């Protein structure tokens, strides 16, 4: 069946042109360019800035060199750190906390719900540098709010950014990003017919039983979507840089910060591009998984 | 009755946990509610005595800081104009025309845009902007953001337009309107809420981000507030807390206002994952 189209193919092409040009230049070309650069020894300055040499797989060999792979400040160390960062702050932190927040929101009074959601969403929408500085003040050794609380509870204060930098960025990213999971699960819970829960109430089910036996099985699709999206975003997030600069001594240098250091502090564009390619490959796996699920869902809806 | 008491205790427990979590989330931000209004603010939490606007007066007199807010505005508005216009036209075409392969286009674009993220694309984006001779210009920042945000913006808008009945435009065209008239006079007013959401989303994204201007700009007089805020550090590297706090609040205001606006107008919910 051929649908009558409101816009001719030619007009459609004209309408698409501006977007195509912008996306082509700033999304598609970078994709191929970064692959190309990763096989060269391009730098910012000097002869290799203008006439980079083709070096084959040299950048990749350097990244995956087993002798230094896990050394601090090297690629492997950053990769392992990033995986831990994603597992702890996205999968455990954001997703689990988001689920708890959404479930609590369904059960408490409207005013408490508004308070809870407002604080969680504020952490998410405020500009990252503002959040970065707020946390810097929050964690300050002498006067920070956290140590003030620790002292008033009789607990030892800590110089958190120096002693526990990795835990700090894990908590920070959990705090910063929980809103997305919370909102996604909120709308998922609201899509469940209330009669299901009413029936469970009549049968005397506890909240935990309702969550485990009714809600969770019904929102399985949302959970998978949430996990994939937050994994992808956390994998690429640069914000911890604003708290720790990747330090002290590379202990919080996740891959995005590592790439920045190699490319824009050491000016080794070739090597930075090679890291970029590895990051893109990992992103690709998650993006394909996400699109596959999104398509299945659309197909089911139609 | 035994059960209702159990339910009551459970409700109470839920409320207590919710209040506690809300408080924990608020804690790192509480400092911000006070410090901007405290003339002697430090990193510690203190109720301002007396309550003062002196910090804001100082920030307003700092021409560099004001210039940075203006730069943020130029870059965010510039980006929004590009994203809004290009996404509206493209989403409309993808929804209403018979351009071949349009079903796959949105998915492929989304795929690319999520693969080519900030950290992976740093190097090639810098090289492209450098090759185009645009390093250290507002235009560079605007174009890079426009390209990066467009796929998601198109995706959100296309969903929105697909949900609008085609009969609106069809009846206009039966009544003698040209396709362009049908787009501008009939479709555009109906799509407007979707465009507003996309525009607000793009604005908040550009306004708040740090990495791209940090990489692409060099001159002080082009820096947006997200980068310029680091100038409120003394030469010894310690922050000038009073000014930083006041400036942070000023810089956050547009985001808060836009959030409240969207929340009031549409109810804050998802439009295809509103934040990247």
ipTM computed for the complex: 0.83
pLDDT band with cut points at 50, 70 and 90 for residue B275: very low
Q: Which residue, among A235, A237, A240, has the nearest Cα to A286 in the 3D structure?
A: A235
Cβ–Cβ gap A120/B269 under 8 Å: no
Q: How far apart are CA A21 and CA A245, in angstroms?
A: 35
Distance from CA of A91 to the nearest CA of B (A): 17
Q: Residue B207 is encoded by which pair of tokens?
A: 């306004």
Q: Which fold has domain A38-301?
A: MetI-like fold (1.10.3720)
- Cβ atoms within 10 Å of B188's Cβ, excluding its own: 13
Helix A110-125 with A165-190: angle, nearest 10 deg? 130
Set out the domains of chain B in order of their start, with CATH numbers: 2-52 (no CATH), 62-265 (1.10.3720.10)
Q: How far apart are CA A139 and CA A145, in angstroms?
A: 7
Cα dihedral A36, A40, A41, A46 sign = negative
Q: Is a pLDDT exceeding 90 seen at residue B40?
A: no
Q: What mean pLDDT, rounded, does chain A reach?
A: 84
Cβ–Cβ gap B127/A33 under 8 Å: yes
pLDDT of residue B272: 43
Nearest Cβ partner of A280 from B42, B116, B244? Answer: B116
Q: Cβ of B127 under 8 Å from any chain A Cβ?
A: yes
pLDDT of residue B274: 41
- What pLDDT, in 10s, does the model give residues A239-293? 888 888 877 888 888 888 998 888 888 888 888 888 888 888 888 888 888 778 7
Q: Cβ of B93 under 8 Å from any chain A Cβ?
A: yes
Half-sphere exposure of B37 (CA within 13 A, CB side): 12
- What pLDDT, in 10s, does the model give residues A19-46? 888 888 888 888 888 888 888 877 776 6
Any idea which residue has 């598609």 for tokens?
Answer: A28
Q: Cβ of B144 under 8 Å from any chain A Cβ?
A: yes
Nearest Cβ partner of A34 from B28, B35, B124? Answer: B124
Any idea which residue has 């560079």 for tokens?
Answer: B140
Among B69, B80, B120, the residue to mutate for chain A (most A Cβ within 10 A): B120
pLDDT of residue B125: 87
- Cβ atoms within 10 Å of A141's Cβ, excluding its own: 15
With beta carbons under 8 A apart, name residues in chain A contacting B150.
Answer: 19, 22-23, 27
- What pLDDT, in 10s, does the model give residues A76-135? 888 999 999 999 999 899 999 999 999 998 888 888 988 998 899 888 888 988 998 888
SS3 for A54? Answer: strand
SS3 for B224? Answer: coil
Q: How far apart are CA A122 and CA B28, in angstroms?
A: 11
CA-atom Rg of chain A in angstroms: 24
- A-B CB pairs within 8 A amount to 318
Q: How far apart are CA A218 and CA B88, in angstroms?
A: 35
With beta carbons under 8 A apart, name residues in chain B contacting A136.
Answer: 43, 239
Nearest Cβ partner of B97 from A5, A20, A295? Answer: A5
For A238-289, give the DSSP string.
Answer: -THHHHHTT-STTTT--HHHHHHIIIIIS-BHHHHHHHHHHHHHHHHHHHHH
Contact A146, A139 (CB under 8 A): yes
SS3 for B239? Answer: strand
pLDDT band with cut points at 50, 70 and 90 for residue A299: low
Q: Of the ranges A75-89, B17-31, B36-50, B245-259, which one carries the lowest mean pLDDT score?
A: B36-50
With beta carbons under 8 A apart, name residues in chain B contacting A207.
Answer: 10, 14
């Amino acid at each position: 069946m051929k649908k009558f189209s409101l816009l001719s193919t030619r007009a459609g092409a004209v309408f698409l042109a501006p977007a195509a040009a912008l996306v082509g230049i700033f999304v598609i070309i970078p994709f191929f360019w970064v692959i190309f650069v990763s096989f060269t020894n391009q730098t910012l300055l000097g002869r290799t800035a203008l006439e980079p040499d083709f070096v084959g797989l040299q950048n990749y060999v350097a990244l995956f060199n087993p002798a230094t792979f896990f050394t601090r400040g090297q690629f492997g160390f950053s990769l392992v750190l990033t995986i831990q960062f994603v597992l702890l702050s996205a999968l455990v932190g954001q997703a689990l906390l988001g689920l708890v927040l959404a479930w609590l929101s369904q059960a408490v009074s409207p005013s408490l719900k508004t308070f809870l959601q407002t604080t969680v969403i504020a952490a998410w929408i405020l500009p990252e540098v503002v959040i970065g500085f707020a946390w810097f003040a929050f964690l300050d050794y002498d006067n920070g709010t956290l140590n003030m609380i620790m002292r008033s509870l009789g607990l030892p204060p800590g110089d958190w950014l120096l002693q526990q930098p990795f835990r700090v960025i894990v908590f920070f990213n959990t705090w910063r990003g929980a809103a997305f999971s919370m909102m996604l699960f909120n709308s998922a819970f609201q899509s469940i017919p209330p009669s299901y829960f009413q029936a469970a109430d009549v049968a005397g089910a506890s909240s935990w039983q309702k969550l485990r036996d009714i809600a969770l099985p019904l929102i399985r699709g949302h959970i998978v979507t949430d996990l994939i999206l937050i994994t992808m975003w956390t994998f690429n997030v640069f914000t911890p840089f604003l708290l720790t600069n990747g330090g002290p001594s590379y202990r919080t240098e996740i891959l995005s910060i590592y790439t920045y250091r190699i490319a824009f502090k050491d000016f080794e564009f070739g090597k930075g591009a090679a890291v970029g390619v590895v990051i893109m490959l990992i992103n690709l796996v998650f993006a394909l998984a996400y699109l596959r699920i999104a398509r299945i869902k659309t197909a089911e809806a139609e | 009755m035994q059960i209702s008491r159990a339910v009551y205790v459970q409700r109470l427990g839920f409320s207590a946990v919710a209040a506690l979590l809300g408080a924990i989330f608020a804690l790192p931000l509480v400092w911000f509610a006070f410090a901007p209004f405290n003339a002697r603010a430090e990193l510690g939490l203190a109720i301002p005595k007396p309550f003062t606007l002196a910090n804001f007066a100082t920030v307003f007199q700092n021409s560099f800081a004001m210039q940075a807010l203006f730069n943020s505005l130029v870059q965010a508005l510039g980006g929004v104009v590009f994203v809004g216009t290009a996404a509206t036209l493209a989403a409309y075409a993808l929804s209403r025309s018979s351009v071949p392969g349009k079903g796959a286009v949105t998915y492929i674009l989304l795929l690319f845009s999520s693969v080519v993220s900030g950290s992976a694309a740093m190097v090639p984006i810098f090289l492209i902007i450098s090759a185009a001779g645009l390093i250290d210009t507002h235009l560079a920042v605007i174009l890079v953001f426009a390209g990066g945000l467009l796929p998601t913006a198109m995706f959100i808008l296309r969903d929105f337009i697909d949900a609008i009945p085609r009969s609106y435009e069809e009846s206009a065209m039966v009544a003698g309107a040209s396709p362009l008239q049908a787009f501008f006079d009939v479709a555009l007013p109906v799509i407007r809420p979707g465009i507003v959401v996309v525009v607000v989303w793009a604005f908040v994204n550009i306004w708040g981000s740090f990495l791209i201007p940090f990489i692409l700009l060099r001159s002080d007089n082009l820096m947006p507030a997200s980068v310029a805020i680091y100038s409120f550090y003394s030469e010894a590297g310690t922050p000038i807390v009073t000014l930083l706090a006041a400036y942070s609040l000023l810089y956050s205001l547009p985001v808060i206002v836009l959030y409240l606006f969207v929340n009031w107008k549409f109810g804050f919910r998802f439009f295809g994952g509103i934040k990247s």
